[in-house]
Amino acid sequence: MSLSDFLQRAMSRWMRDGGPDDDIVLTSRIRVARNVQGYPFPILQTDSHASDVIEMVGKAIEAAPVKELGQYELIRCRDLSALDRQVLVEKHLISPDLAEQEKHGAVVLRDDELVSIMVNEEDHIRIQCILPGMRLDDAWKLATSIDDALENKLVYAFHEKYGYLTACPTNVGTGIRASVMMHLPGLVLSGSINRLLSAVSQVGLAVRGIYGEGSESFGNLFQVSNQITLGETEEEIIGNLQSVVYQLIEHERNARQQLLQRNRTQLEDRVSRSFGILAYARRMDSRETLERLSDVRLGIDLGIIQGVSAGILKELMVTTQPAFLQKYFSRELSASERDVRRAALIRERLRLDDTEVHG
């Protein structure tokens, strides 16, 4: 199969499509945790409890209200190979924890993969909607409509005071986790990232980033999400996150412009070197891949590199992951073999675009 055919088939909508402010926000994600009344949480589940819950969810997605919201398919984890489960993890459709729930776990996927429902992970039901770009409101609208449709056939564990009951009290109440994945190379390069992120973490939000040696950035990717689930409405929680994200977007745009004005040549050099390495290298580990892709994406956003699809960062950060590589090359690969294949896939992918580097 050619690479473009493979990608056409293998990519989720969130990886392919753009959206508002997608020069900085890669994805907006809403996850809603729900449990079925009268059943113990998955941690104490017996085989028959687990099957009951899966069956109930299966019936609920067959019912009319859910059917109106798209084409859904329920798959039990035990019917998927370990590799296929890992591919779903790499596509952000299921969690690593669910992938390990071979016996009791299941997942419901909508055909466009913007919606996935994890069954018997930490909670009985976790509805996840993932949209490209800054679209938290739309993601919430989608998640809450699916929630309503499911509830038609299910009785949720709900407490008048504590709200939706979840296995972990860090999720109780709304059961909502809203998160935004951001690409912030400007703030990292200008050195203001730590100050900003620690300010963000003071307002009830959690920030996750990956750092390399000496707390240097790692792909410049950060996820910002709400921490509080009880005591605020869903709209308040999302609104709070949104306003912080918009501020970060503005800071990032300013930082990029400043860099361009003050260090243009240096920036062009950095971006072009990274592009050269991605286009020609014969071995790439996943860490360097992310770092180079981040530079290239910045180059695309600033008009230094033209003809490369802006989605390249999102696309390759998923398709160069271990399970994806093994799927594409249809064989098991050791870590060092993966580095060779990863470099090959990246070179091939870049050749699909009609590239030009300006300077």
Partner 1 sequence: MLCERCHERAATVHVTKIVNGEKTGYHLCEQCAKEQGEIMHPFISGNAFDFNKLLSGLLNMESSSGFAPAQTTQLRCSSCGMTYNQFTQLGRFGCPDCYESFSSRLEPLLRRIQTGNSHTGKVPVKSGHTIAQQRQLEMLRRELQQAVVDENFERAAELRDQIRALEQGADE
- The footprint of partner 1 on residues 320-359 (CB under 8 A) is 321-322, 335, 338
- What does the block give as tokens for 326? 């093994």
Q: Which of 78, 273, 287, 358 binds partner 1 (CB under 8 A)?
A: 287
Q: Which of 5, 213, 332, 356 binds partner 1 (CB under 8 A)?
A: 213
| 29 has binding-site annotation | yes
Binding part of the chain for partner 1, among 67-75, 83-91, 244-252, 274-282 by CB under 8 A, reads 83-91
Give the SS3 label for residue 35. Answer: coil
CB contact at 8 A, 338 and 322: yes
- What does the block give as tokens for 286? 């996943």
Burial of 211 (0-12, 13-18, 19+ CB in 10 A): exposed
89 binds partner 1 per the rule CB under 8 A: yes
58 binds partner 1 per the rule CB under 8 A: no
Measured from the CB atom, the residue of 104 and 126 that comes closer to partner 1 is 126
160 binds partner 1 per the rule CB under 8 A: yes
| 211 has binding-site annotation | yes
291 binds partner 1 per the rule CB under 8 A: no
Q: Which of 63, 69, 75, 228 binds partner 1 (CB under 8 A)?
A: 228
CB contact at 8 A, 43 and 133: no
The residues with which 129 forms a beta bridge, in sequence order, are 30, 115
CB of 95 to partner 1, least distance (A): 5
The residues with which 297 forms a beta bridge, in sequence order, are none
CB-CB neighbours of 221 under 10 Å: 21
Measured from the CB atom, the residue of 176 and 296 that comes closer to partner 1 is 176
At residue 341, φ and ψ (nearest 5 deg) are: -65, -35
| 297 has binding-site annotation | no
Q: Which of 4, 152, 266, 306 binds partner 1 (CB under 8 A)?
A: 152
260 binds partner 1 per the rule CB under 8 A: no
220 binds partner 1 per the rule CB under 8 A: no
CB of 173 to partner 1, least distance (A): 5
* CA dist., res. 119 & res. 105, Å (int): 6
CB contact at 8 A, 223 and 92: no
